[in-house]
Amino acid sequence: MQSYFTFFRSFLVVIFLFVSFSLYAGIIRGKVTDSKTGEPLVGAVVVLEGQGHTWHAIVQLDGSYSFKNIPAGSYSLKTTIVEYAEAPVINTELKETSEQKIVNFSMEAKTADLASVNIATSGKSSDAGVRGLEKNASTLQNILSEKTIQLLPDVTVANALQRVSGVAIQRSTSGEGRYAIIRGMDERYNNTLVNGVKIPSPDSKYRYVPMDLFPSEMLERLEVIKSLIPSMEADAVGGTMNLVMKNAPLRMLFSANASMGLSTLFSSSRPFSAFDHGAVNPRSPAEINGNSYMATQADFSRGNLNLNSKNLPLNTTAGLTIGDRWIHKKLGAILSLSYQNIFRGSNSDFLVPNAQPQVVNNKDNQFVISDLYTRHYSTQTVRFGLHNKIDYTLAPGHTISLYNMFVQMNEFQARSTYDSVYLNKLSDNFTRSRLQKQSIYSSTLQGDHKILDQFHINWIGVYANAKSKVPDMAEYDYQSATTPGKYIVQKMSRIWQANTDRDLAGYLNLVFTPHLSSLKPELSLGGMYRHKTRNNYYNDYSLSPTLTGGLPQTWTDINSAQYQFSPASLGTGDVTTTNPNTYTSYENVSAGYLQFKFMGNADLQVLGGARVEHTLQGFNTVMPKSYTGRSGTVSYTDMLPSLNLKYALTDKQNLRASYFRSIVRPDFYEIIPTQVVGELFDIKGNDSLKHSIADNFDLRYEFFPSGADQFLIGAFYKIIQNPIEYAVVRNGGPSAQFLMPENFGNAHNYGIEAVITKYKGMFGISANYTYTKSRITTTKQYFYRDPVLGITSKIVQQTRPMQGQADHIGNLSLLYKNPKIGLDMQLAFVYTGKRLSQVSPYYSLDYYQLGQGILDFSFEKRIGHRFSVYGKLNNLTNAPSKTVIFQAPDPGSKFPDQQYATRTVVGKDIYQLTILTGLRFKL
Amino acid sequence: MRMYRIALVSTILIASCKKWSTEKLNLATADVPVATPISDAAPLCGSIKGTMLAGKTYIVGCDVTINAGDTLTIQPGVHINVKNKAGIFVKGSLVSLGTKAQQVFITVDSLRALKNDAPNQDPSHDPAFSGGWAGLYCASTCPMLILKWTHVEYGGSGLSIAQGSIVNQSSGTAFSILFQNPNGIYVMEDSWLYGGVDDPIRISNGKICIMRCTFEKAGIKGGDCLNTKGGTVGDMAYNLFVGIATNGQKASNKGQPVGASQTNIRMWNNTFISCGWRQIQTGRGANINFEEGAKGMAYNNLMVNCKFGLRIVNNPPADTANIRYGNNYEYADSLITANQIYPTNAGLSGGWTIPQETDIPNYHSFLPAGYHFGDTYDGTPVLKANNPLFYNFPLPVPNQVPLYGIQAVNNYDFRLQPGSPAIGKGYTGFTPLAVVPISPTFGVTEITLPGSDIGAFQLNGTGNQHY
């Protein structure tokens, strides 16, 4: 931490040195802005002529330009910008060298003839442009613009999300961001839209979408909407993430970029481990030969378990965007392609707690460690994204557009685990290879029709399909024998898993805007219907080593190890696939809403109404008739009112208040009484699970001084009825202990949020901070010594924060933007405070991830007119991620890094610095 | 219940006043309820209840269930042949009343025909381990499982998910017998268990009494023969174990249900021959194991050529402060065994067993001065020493038969010869926990008190009756 502050301090000193220059005398300066939006026209050239000289100045980030050291005399100023009407030449005079003259240009956009084409372009892609969107929006939003995203050190949407106020990210095992936690509400409580339309998730268990599927360069802007209105889908409590993809441009657009990089984690001593992707059998023996086929070891390839080393694999990314507009600008199209091939990894130490706490030395409920896992992850992620939009203006007021998006992420992961059975000197060596293919295809056809002057219809038809496949996840193990240096073959597991999630949806919105000048009313009425079908397949084989004669088999290598099913019948698909993880389910959501918007007076905008959503979920498993819960349906209807008030204190300041009611639906598998293997504990579905209902209150003050500057401060309060949380359930045998999603009374979540962005000349500072506090009470198991029963346990209540919620999260970015030489730089620091990362079934033994600050740096430098070089450096300080349990460490603990007196460090992950540099071409 | 217990405890108190005696307890006699006779005309399938009639042969053709509240009574001499990997699922009660003369069989006839107990069979091809039927699975609603003079053979075919869902087990579970009711009673006396795949007998929790039984070829490459988990209380005595994959008797408090008793097992006068060799995990395979939070006693046990001696496990720790043991007898043909009479850390076994003065051989004769439990030592001095002198079992085992090759009783006889050094070395100064009623039908017929001869067979003919 110390090092960050030192760094920032020197950075700030540099900023102030630069800032002092602007105080010089003999100056002509001013701003160049869009006459309508007030957006600064960054990069425009202002020409100053007079006294036999010509000077040029470039408009900077805050819209300002300046000429310094100008001798007294008469001057003329002009500026021209493509797409803007030529502004008249302005004459001015400097009477003495100490005088400062301010000359502002307000430029008229040449879009009059395009007004009927309902397309907005440059405005919404820039930083200042999105400020206008935030200011004018009816809801509470935070937006990242295309230009901001381009300059961010991040290449995926998930990582970019952490820069948004109030958002923290949940990382995958390789350190890559995956899910967003918005205002302390974990991924379950948020939804994801693409261009305002819900997309299905390829996740095998959950309905929320892994945000690392999306390359961030495909976006025009990223909106995080924190208050809902009746016309929006109501299943978000933390917020809605709306990915607005690039639109067809007004004129020919061609841009391309390519980059290379590496992760400094990998070296000859810690190489990247790769496996033969071709050896992964896409189909299980049961899929190939039928469920009655009795598989043997010969049916399972070994090639995908032979790892080979790459010392320093190179990351590559490439992107291409082409767009244009034809037929008097009526037909527009854009095609964007993005490719990323990234090798990442992590070194992870993890203490595995024993399945239940113990009474040790007369201390109750002590967690004891059974294993120490030292894991090396090597993950190659290949992302491919394609999106395409075609819009056509049929007639003035009538446009139709077709949007297609395809994103794919193939993840090849090798994991080696050295498992030293704690204290026993016994070690296991696990090797796992896993390939996951995930994709989302979404196609929407959209129409916008202005029927009468006051009447507007908008419709959307959606087909979307999300898929995931994990074919042949294979893991084997060998264990140290009593004779040092010798090993014994252990079990091998092979799992095939696949799921698809398909949506067919239709949306219809009718908007009526009667001409009542003072009230400016807008009445909307609409609805949607979505039919979703989901299929899951799960096939799990467990092979055990063949005995050599009557003794355990000595290990040589994976190719010579001999395995069998015992008994042999366990190799048949009838046993391995017949599990409640294999199911089909569907969900029909129909919704209707009535929404009104009007001006209460000149300064007060009122938006409100109600939405009704009806949900019907059904599932069907492959289980026999004797199985309770083999199929079922559940349905519910919710009435969801909302009210948003926006009061304009001045034209640059708003005061907002909002209330909305929203819901969270259980995930598909959560209502199916299945048992799935979890990371730490098995998880079983709960057929009596109810959906959650949340009442959300928001208050926010906003100030948009000029340009991209902003200051926001707000507070929120949420009451969540029937929140879904995992808690311990124990029935049956000793291993029949699992976590089950359950409803627990009411949860409360409140906090404050502040955002400040300030540009001064070439420098900018952007910061946000969110304080969140949530509370929920759930059941836990507590072990103690009873005078009669001996060691036993009881169920107790415990109040704790909601999973994923950090009390403090914040961002601080320092920006440098020099349009003259075309250099942009950004130093970005993101801090996520201590948060509950995994709920334990046991009292006070939850896992907390300690606060973590990550420092990233990025730059982009223009070279000539068309090219620029850019670079992104992530995790400059190699910040480790640490997980603790709040219990004093065992004095005999051999785990490193036990620097705390009252908590035990049970997990530590190291990712190291990653570097990416590239070249961008733009026509 | 309480009446039985009071009666029983007082009886034991009286009995223990005498220096050494075997008390045949026969307190309450309850009438076997008049039950519906079960027909043997067609293979059984689906829900069953009532009485299987003496001497008849029944075929179980597909899964049968004894519903909650129902009882299946098996009269002496019944032979049950299970086919099609079916299982017997007990949500109610099962009472099998074999006698020495008229034993009950629950078996698979087709595998029985292939039985070969000559030493040194390859387990991969031995029908004992092939899992012929699912097994006898009790649900958590089962109040009573009583097996007297009953053979349970060739179980552990691995549950289908449909079978598993009846008794809350995952698919692939391959026990031969499962009991899982902390308030229920499980009695197994004078019975046999042969073969199996995983744990032949898994006792998730319950009140138990397992007396004078014989276990052979139990578990193919893992599995504890009597594997008790959290919430099991009771006694294990006078049992004979031959060729068990891992442990003969294990006590663990793992998976204890909320509010249940701590696992507490008293184990005395058991005999273990060649156990632990097939377990594929290093460091496991003793004859008696106390693990994770379990307490109890282990006295007068005789262990011959097993992979490890008595093992008190330190991680997760057994309730070491509340475990008592001593008078245990070890014989070792191999240095592997001799070096692990007290399991060592170097043997990757995490030993916590403290040598006792009453142990045979005397630990002073081979442990170095300053020995601390878990330390490595040289067992050469006790190699092939202290032959317990069985009636018919050659020791040292002849060279052509590896230690792990002894997997079944075959034609051996593990009674002690009169000159055996195990005679008279037992400790009798403790009492059984006696948590099940004494009854010829709905309880245990006889709780045999601790005996003065180490091992399952007493010179006076008491103890294990399988000879």
| Per-domain residue ranges of chain A | 2-110, 115-248, 259-344+360-922
pLDDT at residue A115 tops 80:
no
CA–CA dist B397, B393 (Å, integer): 8
3-state secondary structure of B343: coil
Tokens of A413: 């992961």
Q: How confident is the model at residue A38 (pLDDT cuts 50, 70, 90)?
A: low
Tokens of A668: 């598909």
CA–CA dist A360, B223 (Å, integer): 27
* CB-count burial class (<10 Å; 0-12, 13-18, 19+) for A72: middle
For residue A579, list chain B residues with Cβ-Cβ distance below 8 A.
161, 171
Distance from CA of B173 to the nearest CA of A (A): 10
**pLDDT, average across residues B407-428:** 96
Question: How much is the mean pLDDT over chain A?
Answer: 86
pLDDT at residue A145 tops 70:
yes
Nearest Cβ partner of A579 from B122, B161, B230? B161
Contact B160 A575 (CB under 8 A): yes
Distance from CA of B313 to the nearest CA of A (A): 10
* CB-count burial class (<10 Å; 0-12, 13-18, 19+) for B164: buried
Tokens of B251: 């006590």
Question: What residue type is A519 in one-letter code?
Answer: L
pLDDT at residue B34 tops 60:
no
Q: How confident is the model at residue B107 (pLDDT cuts 50, 70, 90)?
A: very high
Q: How confident is the model at residue A893 (pLDDT cuts 50, 70, 90)?
A: low
Q: What is the DSSP letter of B205?
A: E
Q: How confident is the model at residue A16 (pLDDT cuts 50, 70, 90)?
A: very low
Distance from CA of B375 to the nearest CA of A (A): 12
Per domain, the residue ranges of chain B are 2-416
CA–CA dist A145, A126 (Å, integer): 5
Contact A549 B402 (CB under 8 A): yes
Q: How confident is the model at residue A896 (pLDDT cuts 50, 70, 90)?
A: low
* Bridge partners (DSSP) listed for residue A397: none
**pLDDT score recorded for residue B35:** 61
Closest CA to A693 of A657, A653, A742, A743: A743
Question: What residue type is B134 in one-letter code?
Answer: A
**pLDDT score recorded for residue A109:** 64
Nearest Cβ partner of B255 from A426, A564, A737? A737
| DSSP strand pairing (B288-290 vs B311-312) | parallel
CA–CA dist B111, A487 (Å, integer): 34
For residue B230, list chain A residues with Cβ-Cβ distance below 8 A.
356, 734
Q: How confident is the model at residue B161 (pLDDT cuts 50, 70, 90)?
A: confident
Chain B interface disruption, residue of A352, A359, A425, most B CBs within 10 A: A425
pLDDT at residue B359 tops 90:
yes
Q: How confident is the model at residue B21 (pLDDT cuts 50, 70, 90)?
A: very low
**pLDDT, average across residues A99-123:** 56
Question: What residue type is B467 in one-letter code?
Answer: Y
Contact A626 B197 (CB under 8 A): no
What is the percent of chain B with per-residue pLDDT over 70, rounded to a whole number? 91
Q: Which of A96-100, A496-500, B162-166 has the highest mean pLDDT?
A: A496-500
Contact B262 A789 (CB under 8 A): yes
Nearest Cβ partner of A790 from B264, B279, B350? B264
For residue A895, list chain B residues with Cβ-Cβ distance below 8 A.
none
pLDDT at residue B389 tops 80:
yes
Nearest Cβ partner of B258 from A551, A580, A730? A730
CA–CA dist A370, B291 (Å, integer): 13
CA–CA dist A257, A919 (Å, integer): 5
For residue B279, list chain A residues with Cβ-Cβ distance below 8 A.
552
**pLDDT score recorded for residue B17:** 45
CB atoms within 10 A of CB A131: 25
Question: How much is the mean pLDDT over chain B?
Answer: 90
Contact B258 A568 (CB under 8 A): no
Contact B278 A627 (CB under 8 A): no
Tens-place pLDDT, residues A199-254: 999 988 888 899 988 988 889 889 999 999 999 999 999 999 999 998 888 888 89
Distance from CA of B13 to the nearest CA of A (A): 21
Contact B348 A547 (CB under 8 A): no
Contact B255 A360 (CB under 8 A): no
- With a threshold of 0.95, tell me whether the complex ipTM lies above it: no
**pLDDT, average across residues B237-263:** 93
CA–CA dist A610, A639 (Å, integer): 7
Contact A732 B258 (CB under 8 A): no
CA–CA dist B5, B174 (Å, integer): 34
What is the percent of chain B with per-residue pLDDT over 90, rounded to a whole number? 78
Between CA B190 and CA B200, with CA B194 as vertex, the angle to 5 degrees is 95
CA–CA dist A813, A757 (Å, integer): 9
Nearest Cβ partner of B157 from A569, A574, A624? A569
Answer whether the bond into residue B396 is a cis peptide, omega within 30°.
yes
Contact A551 B156 (CB under 8 A): no
Strands (E), A600-630: 604-621
Tens-place pLDDT, residues A357-393: 888 878 899 888 878 889 999 999 999 999 999 999 9
What is the percent of chain A with per-residue pLDDT over 70, rounded to a whole number? 91
Q: If you count DSSP H runs as helices and E runs as strands, how many of each does chain B have, helices first?
A: 4, 30
Contact A733 B168 (CB under 8 A): yes
CB atoms within 10 A of CB B19: 7
**pLDDT, average across residues A897-922:** 87
pTM of the model: 0.85
**pLDDT score recorded for residue A467:** 96
CATH topology of domain A259-344+360-922: Maltoporin; Chain A (2.40.170)
**pLDDT score recorded for residue B171:** 81
Contact B255 A423 (CB under 8 A): no
Closest CA to B442 of B28, B107, B25: B28
Nearest Cβ partner of A626 from B129, B165, B336? B165
For residue B404, list chain A residues with Cβ-Cβ distance below 8 A.
549-551
CA–CA dist A654, A135 (Å, integer): 8
User: What separation in angstroms does the CA of A767 have from each of A160, A221, A363, A805, A829?
Assistant: 15, 19, 46, 20, 9
**pLDDT score recorded for residue A372:** 85
**pLDDT score recorded for residue A360:** 83
- Is there a contact between A781 and A841 (Cβ–Cβ < 8 Å)? yes
CA–CA dist A407, A339 (Å, integer): 10
Distance from CA of B136 to the nearest CA of A (A): 15
Contact A566 B349 (CB under 8 A): no
Chain B interface disruption, residue of A354, A547, A631, A793, most B CBs within 10 A: A547
First to last CA, chain A: 43
Size of interface A-B (CB pairs under 8 A): 206
**pLDDT, average across residues A525-554:** 92
Contact B171 A488 (CB under 8 A): no
Distance from CA of A880 to the nearest CA of B (A): 29
Contact B129 A626 (CB under 8 A): no
Q: How confident is the model at residue A592 (pLDDT cuts 50, 70, 90)?
A: very high
**pLDDT, average across residues B151-166:** 90
CA–CA dist A861, A593 (Å, integer): 49
Residue of chain A whose Cα is closest to the Cα of B315? A370
**pLDDT score recorded for residue A88:** 77
**pLDDT, average across residues A633-640:** 94
Tens-place pLDDT, residues B304-333: 999 999 999 877 889 999 999 999 999 999
For residue B222, list chain A residues with Cβ-Cβ distance below 8 A.
544
User: What separation in angstroms does the CA of A177 have from each of A211, A516, A678?
Assistant: 8, 49, 20
Distance from CA of A730 to the nearest CA of B (A): 7
Tens-place pLDDT, residues A709-763: 889 999 999 999 999 888 767 655 544 567 788 888 889 999 999 999 998 888 9
pLDDT at residue A117 tops 50:
no
3-state secondary structure of A21: helix
Tens-place pLDDT, residues A849-876: 999 999 999 999 989 888 999 999 999 9
Contact B283 A426 (CB under 8 A): yes
Nearest Cβ partner of A482 from B158, B282, B315? B282
pLDDT at residue B29 tops 60:
no
**pLDDT score recorded for residue B426:** 97
Structurally, at CATH architecture level, domain A2-110 sits in Sandwich (2.60)
Distance from CA of B148 to the nearest CA of A (A): 25
CA–CA dist B248, B271 (Å, integer): 9
**pLDDT, average across residues A820-843:** 89
Contact A793 B259 (CB under 8 A): yes
Strands (E), A16-157: 27-34, 45-50, 53-58, 64-67, 73-80, 90-94, 100-102, 105-107, 141-145
**pLDDT score recorded for residue B27:** 59
* CB-count burial class (<10 Å; 0-12, 13-18, 19+) for B247: buried
Nearest Cβ partner of B259 from A481, A545, A792? A792
pLDDT at residue A623 tops 80:
no
Tokens of B48: 């069953």
Residue of chain B whose Cα is closest to the Cα of A554? B280
The continuous run of DSSP H or E covering B14 comes out as helix B2-17
pLDDT at residue A7 tops 60:
no
Contact B258 A794 (CB under 8 A): yes
For residue B281, list chain A residues with Cβ-Cβ distance below 8 A.
479, 488, 490
Nearest Cβ partner of A488 from B140, B282, B317? B282
User: What separation in angstroms does the CA of B363 have from each of A220, A263, B338, B342, B357?
Assistant: 80, 58, 11, 10, 7
* Bridge partners (DSSP) listed for residue A379: A344, A413
CA–CA dist B126, A107 (Å, integer): 91
Q: Which of A159-173, A812-826, B416-430 has the highest mean pLDDT?
A: B416-430
**pLDDT score recorded for residue A866:** 86
Buried b (16+ CB within 10 A) or exposed e, B415-426: bbeeebbbbebb
Place of tokens 């601080």: A812
For residue B260, list chain A residues with Cβ-Cβ distance below 8 A.
789, 792
- Is there a contact between B409 and B216 (Cβ–Cβ < 8 Å)? yes
**pLDDT score recorded for residue A370:** 78
Contact A790 B261 (CB under 8 A): yes
Half-sphere exposure of A682 (CA within 13 A, CB side): 18
User: What separation in angstroms does the CA of B464 have from each of A632, A678, B195, B240, B247?
Assistant: 54, 46, 20, 8, 19
Between CA B310 and CA B318, with CA B316 as vertex, the angle to 5 degrees is 45
pLDDT at residue B374 tops 90:
no
- Is there a contact between A30 and A65 (Cβ–Cβ < 8 Å)? yes
Q: How confident is the model at residue A656 (pLDDT cuts 50, 70, 90)?
A: very high
Contact B280 A542 (CB under 8 A): no
Q: How confident is the model at residue A23 (pLDDT cuts 50, 70, 90)?
A: very low
What would the CATH number be for the domain defined by A115-248? Answer: 2.170.130.10
